[in-house]
Amino acid sequence: MRAELGDQLVIESPKTGTTRRDGEIVGLHHADGTPPYDVRWSDTDEVTLVFPGPDAHVRHLGHGQGSTNESSGRIAVERGGPSDSTPRETGANPGDIGRRVAAERERQGLSREETARRAAMAPDYLAYLEERQADPSLATLIRLASALGTSVAALRGGGVDLPLGQGHAFLHPELRDLSADECRALLSTHGVGRVAVSTPDGPAVVPVNYEVIGDAIVYRTMPDSVPAAAVGAEVAFEVDHVDEVMSQGWSVLVVGPARVVTEHDVVRRPAEQVHTEPWAGGKREMWVSIQPKRLTGRRIRPADQ
């Protein structure tokens, strides 16, 4: 059995000869067109890795119909990861693998068609991987990595324990200041930020789970902890987001006095509105509030966005 991209894989009933299922071959795993194939089924729009059995044949579109019987058993699916077995969604929502593929392809100046040709897959399947939440098969990743001159580990996000910012910079980046309203919107309601304090051992910066209540930044900690050293001093609090795949991101800096929240009614309010428990665990009942006196932020992105 041999196929080309765009051919149809047809599964027929061995008794009646009627078509039970068919789909477009969107990915080849061997240069000579022999199985297995990445097939997008016409009934579900799912993409799976398929080893055709004796009840399957290839329909060469525009070249008539041919069939080959190979005694490899009935049709078998090797794997069905989240993207290999999930129908397309109505809106684009690219996953990390797809964004890494697209970013590396664009960095090298390759078109989607050329990349798909190198990886022996249909351009529309590559578009599907880049634009949708996807977890393609290992064989597909190997072909894409070879086509892009990178590694499977890199496409999967290898090195996630390394510091951020090791990706390639844009050729034409734009760094712009954020307005106070944009900063408030990015702070949102809660998350993880970093508070900078002075301690007896010198300056320290530590991450904390925080809440935004009114205009104030509020976090829970324990007495005598490093975050508790903020009380009674003017401190800096920073939140950021880095998109390692796209080499872009933003940061927001809050500067203002910190105090411990002692009033019962005021303490009860953040306790009732808390979204998450402190990741560090333990009994953390000391609430610290930072009232912003200065709020600034910056964003880096491609200049053409």
pLDDT tens readout for residues 44-80: 777 888 888 888 889 887 544 333 333 233 333 333 3
Number of C-beta neighbours around residue 16 at 10 A: 8
- Does position 281 have pLDDT exceeding 70, yes or no? no
Give me the chain's average pLDDT, please: 78
- With a pLDDT cut of 70, the percent of the chain lying above it is 73
Rounded to whole angstroms, the Cα distance separating 254 from 125 reads 45
* Assigned token pair, 233: 């001093």
- 115-118 CB contacts, 8 Å cutoff, 24+ apart: 115/144, 115/147, 115/148, 118/146, 118/147
Task: Report the pLDDT averaged over residues 92-107.
Answer: 79
Rounded to whole angstroms, the Cα distance separating 138 from 130 reads 16
Question: What's the pLDDT score for residue 53?
Answer: 82
Task: Report the pLDDT averaged over residues 15-31.
Answer: 81
Rounded to whole angstroms, the Cα distance separating 254 from 250 reads 14
Name the band, by pLDDT with cuts 50, 70 and 90, for residue 271.
low
Which range (48-57, 227-236, 286-295) has the least confidence?
48-57
Q: What are phi and psi of 138, to 5 degrees?
A: -60, -40
Closest CA to 116 of 131, 126, 130, 107: 126
Question: What's the pLDDT score for residue 154?
Answer: 78
46 vs 7: which has the higher pLDDT: 7
* Assigned token pair, 28: 């080849």
Which range (141-150, 155-164, 232-241, 294-303) has the least confidence?
155-164
Question: What's the pLDDT score for residue 78?
Answer: 36
